[in-house]
Structure 1
């Protein structure tokens, strides 16, 4: 195990991460990878309503949000997480410029993405708690 992997694992182990992703294969792949780091995955959820319910009810440390879902977008979930000061990152097939301005500070990864990039960004989000958040 390399140094970066060990550092990510030390941050993520035992954390509860909400996963909102409508692509079943990507959701399974992300969940598996997160579990390899010792994460407890909440979800994956495929529609915003389920993610929103979980974001309001479950104790989560951070979240990974697919921007476009079967039932629209994830912005209601993102707003709920922001109100609770829970860090999250976006996954999307669309460029950042298509995102509302209120999410400028949120890490944004284009699909397809490397799993290591996502877990590294997630570990930074968990430790930083968006120090630069407005």
Structure 2
């Protein structure tokens, strides 16, 4: 990764351990830093409130509920999110329909592409204090 490329701190919220590891591997493989993965709502809310983040990948259904409150908190802070779900966009609340959704199951290539899109959105919406030069 060149010095001019931004590396983002990416919150990963996923309650399936193998999927969480796949996401972590993909995020790190693209040169970004993983925060998490975290599997339950309370932990995700804590990280969303306290961590400096560039963007987030959120499984919709997690231990303790769904990730909508996490997304609301992050979006209020200006942090773009990508939802992961085995259900369609119609299951998301209307307020979240503008956010990206990657349907499960997904391929490694689809995940990599969505992470790149998410980080590009973060780059366009944030200033350099939200990213690390790497």
Which TM-score applies when normalising by structure 1?
Answer: 0.83
Distance 1:44 1:10, change over 3 A: farther
Q: Work out which of the residue numbers 84, 96, 101 in structure 1 matches 2:77.
A: 84
Distance 1:105 1:89, change over 3 A: same
Distance 1:119 1:42, change over 3 A: same
Give the aligned length: 123
* SS in structure 2 at match of 1:14: strand
Return the alpha-carbon distance in structure 2 between the equivalents of residues 78 and 57 of structure 1.
Answer: 14
Gaps of 5+ in 2: 127-134
- 1:62-89 C-alpha deviation (Å, 9 max, x unpaired): 0000000121100110110011111111
Shift of 1:33: 1.2
Distance 1:78 1:66, change over 3 A: same
Distance 1:14 1:123, change over 3 A: closer
Return the alpha-carbon distance in structure 1 between the equivalents of residues 19 and 78 of structure 2.
Answer: 26
1:1-134 map, 5 Å: 13-114=6-107, 115-129=111-125
Distance 1:12 1:47, change over 3 A: farther
Which TM-score applies when normalising by structure 2?
Answer: 0.83
Greater relative contact order (CA < 8 Å, ≥ 6 in sequence): 2
Gaps of 5+ in 1: 1-8
8 Å Cα contact 1:52-1:77 kept in structure 2: yes
Identify the range of structure 1 (109-118 vs 79-88) with the bigger mean alpha-carbon deviation. 109-118
Structure number with higher strand proportion: 2
Shift of 1:125: 2.4
